[in-house]
Structure 1
């Protein structure tokens, strides 16, 4: 059985490549694969045309074609062949205010791709529910993201005097602003991965937070950041999945995360939950984590167990079964 994977242009972002990279290494043991990146990074009509033509020329007979996310519109080049589409979230639709753009994205990024695809993989039940609320379909199946095996349990004494708090991502949904407010008066070092904007820098200074910041780092560097930290901070207000939760748990770190879906689905009972819109809730969670060693130990142990659900072998097998059933159909 052969599977062709189509990825967005790498300069749009490496997150999807990263999610699938180790998965594909495992898949190569069971299926023949080819991997292609789109030639154009934009979403203007010319970009869509170029990407669709690129995709069309690489179609194959007796082949499963898997569009791994974001470039949903290239499904138009795969009419008539067996296809799988992975949908990570609907932020491309939920976060659009302009009614014309929203209509365009609903048609070409959601409605038509789902109508064309044979199977649509949702990375969480929350994404599945979100799609069903907009389009009635029986093509949806939930397969979670796999955690990269480079993340392994790494023992580290908890730094009680000045814990390192790792915060990954500085976008609007990552809720860094409220984290900064919540940490006022708490002795810690906030390690932020991602480009800080002017407002965030001003807040860090205003609330007198000791921090450091780094951008555009390698996967190995990211792995080391988890090892170096004491707590992983993830109070997001919107997520399609929440990989840092699992990566933190797999490393053996305490995770502070939002009590929202799909984070609840992903994290289980193995994180310190917070209300992401309530600074006091975040502050109280940190108070408990810092003061209670037994609580921290319990979260770490539960996290290591929970992370096993997302092993590469487990997730790869789910995809193989999906492909096999589609090939027989």
Structure 2
């Protein structure tokens, strides 16, 4: 059996590539695998046209064609083939205010892809519920993202005097600004992964936060960031999944995250929860984690157990079943 994977342009980001690379490495040997990246990273009509032309040239009627996410519209080029679409979240709809643009996105990124795909994989139950609130379909199933095995349990003595707090991402949804304000007066080192905006740098300086910043890291570099931190900080305002929660838990680090879905679902309660729009709530979570050793230890132990749900062997088994069912259909 052959699986034909289609990825967005890597210039948009590597998160989807990372997740599926872990899966593909595990599946290699069980299937004949081809990987294709679309040539355009934009979403203007000309970019969509070129991406669809590219996908049409790479389509394979003898294979299962799997769109791994973000480029939902290229499924138009796969009509008449066996197709699977992975939807990570609906941020492309939820954050669009212009009604004309919103309808355009709904039509080409949701309605038509749902009609054409044989199966649609949602990476969380929250994504599934969000889709069903907008359009009914019986094609949805939930398969979580697999965590890369390079993230493994590394014992570290918690630095209570000056903990290293690892914050992944600087986009609007990652809630860095409130993190900075919440840490004002707390002795720590804030390690930020992602390009900082000038306004964020100014906020860091105004709040006297000791920090360091890095971006464009390799997978091994990212693994080391988890190993070298004391707290994984992920108080996001919006997520489709929340991989840093699992990566932090599997490394054996205490996680601070938002009490919103799907982060509640993914963490399975093994995290210090915060109200992401409340600076006092975020601050109190840091103080509780730093000061209470038994609380910390309990969260770490529960996190290590929870991370087993996302092992690549477990997730790859679910995908194998899906591919075999589609092939037989």
- TM-score, scaled relative to structure 1: 0.99
Structure 1, 40-49 or 272-281: larger mean CA deviation: 40-49
Partner SS, residue 145 of structure 1: coil
For 1:165, the equivalent position in structure 2 comes to 165
Q: Aligned-pair distance for 1:29?
A: 2.7
Residue-pair matches, total: 329
Query: Aligned equivalents of 1:40 and 1:176: distance in 2?
Result: 30
Pairs within 5 Å for 1:189-200 = 189-200=189-200
Q: Aligned-pair distance for 1:235?
A: 0.3
Structure 1, 144-153 or 59-68: larger mean CA deviation: 59-68
Partner SS, residue 217 of structure 1: coil
For 1:58, the equivalent position in structure 2 comes to 58
Q: Aligned-pair distance for 1:45?
A: 1.5
For 1:210, the equivalent position in structure 2 comes to 210
Q: Aligned-pair distance for 1:49?
A: 1.4
1:115 pairs with 2:115: yes
Query: Aligned equivalents of 1:214 and 1:60: distance in 2?
Result: 40
Query: Aligned equivalents of 2:211 and 2:313: distance in 1?
Result: 37
Q: Aligned-pair distance for 1:198?
A: 1.7
Give the superposed CA RMSD.
0.8
1:188 pairs with 2:200: no
Q: Deviations over 1:221-272 (max 9, x none)?
A: 1111001100000000100000000000010000000000000000012101
Q: Deviations over 1:118-146 (max 9, x none)?
A: 00000000000000011110000000000
Q: Structure 1: where are the runs of 5+ without partners?
A: none
Partner SS, residue 85 of structure 1: strand
Query: Aligned equivalents of 2:48 and 2:209: distance in 1?
Result: 44
1:292 pairs with 2:295: no
Pairs within 5 Å for 1:104-183 = 104-183=104-183
Structure 1, 200-209 or 156-165: larger mean CA deviation: 200-209
Query: Aligned equivalents of 1:59 and 1:218: distance in 2?
Result: 31
Q: Aligned-pair distance for 1:159?
A: 0.5
Query: Aligned equivalents of 1:262 and 1:61: distance in 2?
Result: 35
Structure 1, 203-212 or 54-63: larger mean CA deviation: 54-63
Query: Aligned equivalents of 1:195 and 1:8: distance in 2?
Result: 21
Query: Aligned equivalents of 1:41 and 1:237: distance in 2?
Result: 25
Query: Aligned equivalents of 1:119 and 1:224: distance in 2?
Result: 37
Query: Aligned equivalents of 2:192 and 2:25: distance in 1?
Result: 30
For 2:20, the equivalent position in structure 1 comes to 20
Q: Aligned-pair distance for 1:301?
A: 0.7
Q: Aligned-pair distance for 1:62?
A: 2.6
Query: Aligned equivalents of 2:317 and 2:125: distance in 1?
Result: 19
- TM-score, scaled relative to structure 2: 0.99
Partner SS, residue 212 of structure 1: strand
For 1:265, the equivalent position in structure 2 comes to 265
Q: Aligned-pair distance for 1:202?
A: 1.4
1:253 pairs with 2:253: yes
Query: Aligned equivalents of 1:11 and 1:286: distance in 2?
Result: 34
Partner SS, residue 201 of structure 1: helix
For 2:98, the equivalent position in structure 1 comes to 98
Q: Aligned-pair distance for 1:167?
A: 0.2
For 1:324, the equivalent position in structure 2 comes to 324
For 1:8, the equivalent position in structure 2 comes to 8
Query: Aligned equivalents of 1:223 and 1:180: distance in 2?
Result: 23
Q: Aligned-pair distance for 1:61?
A: 2.6
Q: Deviations over 1:169-223 (max 9, x none)?
A: 0000000111111111110000000111122111111111111111111111111
For 2:79, the equivalent position in structure 1 comes to 79
Query: Aligned equivalents of 1:199 and 1:43: distance in 2?
Result: 28
Dislocated runs of 4+, deviation >6 Å: none
